[in-house]
Amino acid sequence: MGRKLFYCAGAIALAAAGIYLNNTSLLAEHRRGKPELLAHRGIAQRFDETDLKNDTCTASRMLPPKHDYLENTIRSMQAGFAAGADIVEIDVHPTTDGAFAVFHEWTLDCRTDGHGITREHTMAEMRKLDIGYGYTADGGKTFPFRGRGIGMMPTLAEVFSTFPDRRFPINVKSRDPSEGEKLAAVLNGLSRERRAQIIVYGGDEPIDVLRRLVPDLKTASRKSLKSCLTGYIGYGWTGVLPDACKHAMMLVPINIAPWLWGWPDRFLNRMRDAGTEVFVLGPYRGSDFSTGIDDPALLARLPPNYAAGIWTNEIEAVGRLEK
């Protein structure tokens, strides 16, 4: 009996040692270089993030502005790249005249002087709108950008032509499969090299369509992100990656990262070898809304000499610290 227990304990110890050696970053190659900085919506106005919901009008809870940039505009993107961004995230909606508008909101009423669902308008109609109309930091007493955003809503085609060699993650705001088909037609019209600079993420249904129609495109959806994270935490110690972790974008909240097998270097190397780009977000707090890495305290929680992706809403500050 004692000998059996001895052999059993030895086998358990060997297995534990194998798992440790297969997952420790101490023996993993360290990725050299600087972090890749992703500027969420370019340089944007910040807002009170308390109790946010999907339909919260963030323009009506803007914080006192520190600059005059409006998100998702060409000017905002230019400033984001100039501030140190390697990648600028944008949001899109299809229009009734066959374009893709670069704009965040599902409806026009929050930020603009227009009304109704964004995707139910022509691009020609939306070019006439003032996208700075609804921003207020004092409960509606003043609107500092009103009249200053007329004609500033760009198309996706304009973004691509203005920044022909820049990288963009594109956020699809719907769960409409037909939007995936429309965007696939646009992206398949680009060169393979240009598509390699594009990532698309968003609703499960359009992303599933994009994966099928544009197989060389890196993507992410709510379903794939959850499947990758839970699968990797469950059996990533084996070195086997869930399919959802391959050729994709992986978003990792900074408070979840330490639970990932091999974090940081071995995990990042596994994702790199699978063709997946990793971006660390701010802490996950049990809701759909996640913050970015937006201040020095959060930056300090990253591993020393971290050289993968950082998602930030404050590229002006983070760019100065990291570049």
Domain boundaries, the chain: 1-322
Confidence check: pLDDT of 13 > 60: no
pLDDT of residue 203: 96
Look over the chain and give the mean of its residue pLDDT values, rounded to a whole number.
Answer: 92
What is the DSSP code (8-state) at residue 263? T
pTM for the structure as a whole: 0.93
User: In the numeric block, which tokens belong to residue 110?
Assistant: 């929050």
pLDDT at position 51 is 81
pLDDT value at 17 more than 70 = no
Domain 1-322, CATH 3.20.20.190 — does that match?
Answer: yes
Q: What are the pLDDT digits (tens) for 258-304?
A: 999 999 999 999 999 999 999 999 998 765 556 899 999 999 999 99
Task: List, as one string, the DSSP characters of 158-204.
Answer: HHHHHSTT-BEEEEE----HHHHHHHHHHHHTS-HHHHTTEEEEE-H
Q: What is the pLDDT of residues 103-112, one digit of tens each?
A: 999 999 999 9
Please tell me whether residue 94 adopts helix, strand or coil conformation: strand
